[in-house]
Amino acid sequence: MNRYSTAGKLVRDRIPQIIREDGAEPIVRTAGPEEYRRRLRDKLGEEVAEFLAADEAGALEELADVLEVVRTLAADLGAGPAQLEKVREAKARERGGFAERVVWAGNR
């Protein structure tokens, strides 16, 4: 059996306040460290799926949600935005980025 409660989902920090302002009382709790990391990974999948399903008008907003989760995951791993960017830059120097639209179809 899963050792984490399956009830609920990870939401942005201000969501309970917004729910209260709308006149309802949210049922919330704080996830422990292991559950938090697992739920962040789940949230990343959720946000990526929403980005992939979005039309062009909503894609940028959904991509911003993906970035928020990525930055939070990095922070949970002990890395701030600057360190994450340094890792990204190093990989780009070593292997390149995606700007040239290269599609690989295997080797001969």
In the chain, what are the domain boundaries?
A: 15-80
Residue carrying structure tokens 């942005």: 12
Task: Supply the pLDDT for residue 1.
Answer: 39
Q: What is the pTM of this model?
A: 0.86
Q: What value does the mean pLDDT take over residues 1-14?
A: 76
Amino acid type, 9: K
- The span from the CA of 40 to the CA of 42, in Å, is 5
Dmax over CA atoms of the chain, in Å, equals: 64
Question: What percentage of the chain carries pLDDT values higher than 70?
Answer: 94
Selection from 4, 5, 12, 8 nearest residue 64 by Cα: 12
